[in-house]
């Protein structure tokens, strides 16, 4: 595996995708499998109750984080993993259906929104389909304007009702000494470029 990764990086450097410095510093990063996807508002879910088509349906997650299902009325979905939602629905369905078997599938991710504002070419709100790093977000926004504060970028992130500021120094990304981490963004993050 390491040999294939090195071969890819060397090929990328030769073809011009990565400069020699980036090719040397680049290394494969394992995906963080400990962080499960959490359902968010506007996501589209397919709820299947086996052997009961009348209860099965595709539903959107409302802005209040709830979904509506027959017999159960409103069910909290936002903030839960698909497996947690499945368990919640199964527990509530036991009252109406003996030994219910339920599957929850996220068919469309619409809740992963980030914003990029300030001195970028295309400031705005971006709907992501998968995880993205801060550099990915800056690239989607068209890069920096001429007088942007590249070393003073800040990501604001809401955690538990508190807004946290995470500094990012783009100029340190390619430094061999004390490089800046190109971290993953989370839904609702706001990238501010002064």
Q: How do residues 125-182 score in pLDDT, each as one tens digit? A: 998 888 899 999 999 999 999 999 999 999 999 887 899 999 999 999 988 888 889 9
Q: Are 157 and 164 in contact (CB under 8 A)?
A: yes
112-193: in CATH 2.60.120.280: no
CATH topology agreement for domains 44-108 and 112-193 = no
pLDDT computed for residue 111 by the predictor: 86
d(CA 86, CA 99): 13
d(CA 166, CA 146): 23
What architecture (CATH level 2) is domain 44-108?
2-Layer Sandwich (3.30)
pLDDT tens per residue across span 74-113: 999 999 999 999 999 999 999 999 999 999 999 998 888 9
d(CA 49, CA 102): 5
Q: Where are the alpha helices (DSSP H) in 26-168?
A: 82-93, 134-140
Spell out the domain ranges in the chain.
1-30, 44-108, 112-193
pTM of the prediction? Answer: 0.65
């Amino acid at each position: 595996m390491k040999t294939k990764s090195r071969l890819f990086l060397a090929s990328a450097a030769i073809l011009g995708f990565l400069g020699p410095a980036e090719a040397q510093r680049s290394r494969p990063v394992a995906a963080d499998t400990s962080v499960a996807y959490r359902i968010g508002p506007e996501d589209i879910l397919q709820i299947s109750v086996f052997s009961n088509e009348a209860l099965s349906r595709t539903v959107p997650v409302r802005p209040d984080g709830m979904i509506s299902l027959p017999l159960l009325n409103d069910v909290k979905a936002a903030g839960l993993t698909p497996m947690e939602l499945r368990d919640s629905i199964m527990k509530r369905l036991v009252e109406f259906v003996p030994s219910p078997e339920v599957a929850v599938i996220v068919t469309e991710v619409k809740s992963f929104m980030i914003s990029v504002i300030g001195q970028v070419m295309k400031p705005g709100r971006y709907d992501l389909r998968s995880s993205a790093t801060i550099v990915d977000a800056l690239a989607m926004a068209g890069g920096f304007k001429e007088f942007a504060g590249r070393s003073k970028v800040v990501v604001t992130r809401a955690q538990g009702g508190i807004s946290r500021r995470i500094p990012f120094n783009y100029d340190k990304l390619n430094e061999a000494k004390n490089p800046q981490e190109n971290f993953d963004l989370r839904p609702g993050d706001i990238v501010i470029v002064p």
